Amino acid sequence: MAKFLERQKYIMYLFALVALLAVTAIAMTYFTGYLFKDKTTVLQNVVNLSAFVIITSALKMIRLGIKRQLAEKELAAKQLEAELQLLRAQINPHFLFNTLNNLYSLTLEKSDQAPAIVVKLSELMRYMLETSKHERSSLQSEIDFINNYLALEKLRLDNRATIDFEVVGEPQQKTIASLLLIPFIENAFKHGINATAGNAYLHSQLRIEENELFFFIENSRATNRSTESTGTGLENVKRRLHLLYPNNHQLIIENDGTKFSVNLQLSMV
């Protein structure tokens, strides 16, 4: 009968239980008359057996319920990890594709900066390949990665845009989801900054207060570009924030057509 419970066939379980109770109660009434002086009635045996069966069935259902919940949680955890791995895996080709596009444009211009950019790119890709295998990285290593990426963009733009990144607080001993912040920086260059438009800029600050992280970035936008917030990278990071920090982050993205800004508050606990 336990199989009926496990397969959630409760009607079959009930019929089998009633049949078993009836047969057992009649048998007990018949045999107790021979074994004991005080003979019990069929009704008494049914009541006694019913109480026993109800208790054992309840315990069985509780155990099955707990087992089912654990299985569902394990499945959900595996699905979550699979999705996170997919999201992390998408960062590498997306980043590489954008950077190779920039490198291609420099080679067309026969720029002297192309070799230096190749070296910087190899360093960045090495870090990305290492960290994309892990869910979390040290905050300091992520900051170093951002600085290296900005150095790469400064080479590409040849100082035709104002770029600054400030870190306030102590990032040591802090950890964060791997490659979580770089899509915001990358988005600013891909969909925002246009050095040919003049007065192009990117201002960014990362502030640490105990276990709270505050990340701000603002960049200029060329007036001929779409005001829509675009980019696979942004959608990727929004999803990762939702999965990894469901109740521990606040993300505000603003776009007025001339500038684009991101405000992220994150609990690193």
- Measured distance CA(232)–CA(247) in Å, rounded: 23
In this structure, the answer to whether residues 144 and 257 fall within a common structural domain is: yes
What secondary structure does DSSP assign to 114-138, as a single string? HHHHHHHHHHHHHHHHHHTTSSEEE
Domain boundary among 71, 96, 116: 71
18 and 104, same domain (yes or no): no
User: In terms of Cα–Cα distance, which of 224, 168, 170 is closest to 196?
Assistant: 224
Residue 76 forms part of a structural domain:
no
Say if pTM beats, i.e. exceeds, 0.85: no
Q: Which of 245, 256, 249 is nearest to 218 (CA)?
A: 256
Number of domain units in the chain: 2
Q: Which of 71, 92, 111 lies at the terminal end of a domain, its last residue?
A: 71
Based on C-alpha coordinates, what's the Rg of the chain? 32
Pair (160, 206) in one structural domain: yes
Residues 166 and 51 in one domain: no
State which residues form the domain around 143: 82-267
pLDDT tens for 115-126 read 777 777 778 878
**Below-70 pLDDT ranges, the chain:** 1-54, 57, 75-99, 102-103, 105-106, 109-111, 194-198, 222-231
d(CA 252, CA 15): 59
The answer to whether residues 201 and 101 belong to one domain is yes
Q: What is the pLDDT of residues 101-140, one digit of tens each?
A: 766 766 776 667 777 777 777 788 788 778 877 788 999 9
